[in-house]
Chain A
């Protein structure tokens, strides 16, 4: 079932929560339209701070608002938020331990043909290397809504990123969402697919194709990249013949490399493949075309799975 874009769910949830809590403050950098926060601005003008096109300033102001007790959401395109303002994130948010939520919108290759300046395929890697910031990449509407709710009273810095396309429903309602705990969406003994964010949707479709040819998959939505849920990861790979990871991010420093490092250090040796963007001048195209090109379509994942467990 097709639902809303995670972006819309984020904006609706935040507005709902902010109506009841005057301490919730959103900070934008000419990004309220891109963040679907135009209604928020109309309805709660005193709870939105606009800094203009100044992302470094945005992050510093978020830290300051938090320092006087506000529950702060800094919202800007993930690319600018995490590249341009990296030092502010590192020092003013993470090191200083201000419980700000930074929301990276239009993450991954959501911006399609706008190209490399707008792609955010470094954000997970750079923030993984910074102490004291949690990283959550929700896969669907349910996870998005839950992480925004959880963010309000979260006690430490948090980074959340997602895209802007409508998502399919992955959860049937009986899942719990906790920051730091991955969610098992499917169980199977042949293959484990560990995915994060919107690529979980592609992996989900791949699992359904694989089932038709009797390859049964375990699928984990690893929505929290940091802290990493080692337990669910090790559990999910304990009986399978191969492991595939999928992420809308560079293969350098992302989810896949994290999984590989856990396996190596536990002496687990299985056929293993990381799907993500290689270290090259990337092909230009829409988000869908780019993901397909780099083998992250359901069909390509199916082929890869067949080869890995052969």
Chain B
């Protein structure tokens, strides 16, 4: 898939995210829009996970620790044919397995998340296990930047460094917002890169809404032999929809019909721009 194709995919995914949230009446809208480019590149270029190999241990793995952005994950898994579009439209309906956080009841999901600060330790366990089995596969995990306040994250990083987990790729969705407001006001985490490096990790910082930069950085891991890979993906919460970008209220909010149509129009314009580029 070319970079241009990936960019078009991101537009299609953003539309789908909005559709399922609008239809399901609930969703973590802005955080799904901030990380969708990351998931796009992972699932279409890097991971090589599909319904045929999913049941095997011997493949790459993805754990979404910031589970609340499940709409982004559902959208990509649907596109990878793990389940049908009709199934996905049962999101939030009574008795549906499609709920507001990842569960293994849904094909393609590897771990139940939703309480923040759990995914990284699980990913560390998987990375150690694959090394013990002498397998060359990698574990990718996605964290929120607000999530980094959980102490368990830093416990997990100590273990990851101790076991030289260069098969672990930790991606931080650095959208600089959480529920209450800006991360640097709620609980400052900067200088973040220095913190990671001081833990012995190998850290790269990129534009996390650029499929081009994502593809470049994710294609060449490990960054350094025997070192844990960390990617600070600078993103925009609500990316792609002008009135959602950087707006704290869109953390968990459903667009009205009017807002939904406006958003689709904006995405359609972006799509035409990319096609004509």
Contact = CB atoms under 8 A, between A and B. Distances in A.
A64 to B, nearest CB: 16
A50 B178 CA distance: 13
A84 B115 CA distance: 9
A284 B101 contact: no
A117 interface: yes
A286 B147 CA distance: 26
Given A30-B146, A53-B147, 5 more contacts: A33-B180, A34-B179, A114-B100, A115-B99, A289-B94
Contact of A53 (B24, B113, B146): B146
B99 A52 contact: no
Interface residues of B, number: 30
B112 interface: yes
A79 interface: yes
B97 interface: yes
Interface of A: 28-34, 50-54, 56-57, 79-80, 83-84, 113-118, 283-286, 289
A51 B179 CA distance: 13
Contact of B96 (A52, A54, A116, A284): A284
Contacts of B97: 284
Contacts of B114: 114-118
Given A52-B146, A53-B146, A30 B151 contact: no
A150 B150 CA distance: 32
B111 to A, nearest CB: 11
B102 to A, nearest CB: 9
A113 B92 contact: yes
Given A32-B180, A284-B95, A285-B95, A57 B151 contact: yes
> Shortest 5 CB-CB distances between A and B: which pairs?
A52-B187, A117-B114, A52-B149, A285-B94, A115-B99
Contact of B103 (A29, A30, A56, A115): A115
B178 to A, nearest CB: 5
A189 B2 CA distance: 76
B95 A53 contact: no
A45 B244 CA distance: 28
16 contacts: A30-B187, A32-B180, A33-B180, A50-B186, A50-B187, A51-B187, A52-B146, A52-B178, A53-B116, A54-B187, A57-B151, A114-B99, A117-B114, A284-B97, A285-B93, A286-B94
Nearest to B103: A115
A127 B187 CA distance: 29
Contact of A54 (B67, B113, B151): B151
Interface in B81-107: 92-97, 99-101, 103
A83 B118 CA distance: 13
Given A52-B146, A117-B113, A30 B180 contact: yes
B26 interface: yes
The winner among A28, A29, A56, A117 for most chain B CB atoms within 10 A is A117
A291 B113 CA distance: 23
B90 to A, nearest CB: 10
B186 A56 contact: no
B100 A54 contact: no
Given A54-B149, A56-B151, A286-B94, A113 B99 contact: yes
A33 B95 contact: no
Given A53-B116, A113-B100, A30 B179 contact: yes
A114 B93 CA distance: 11
B31 interface: no
A289 B112 CA distance: 22
B101 A118 contact: yes
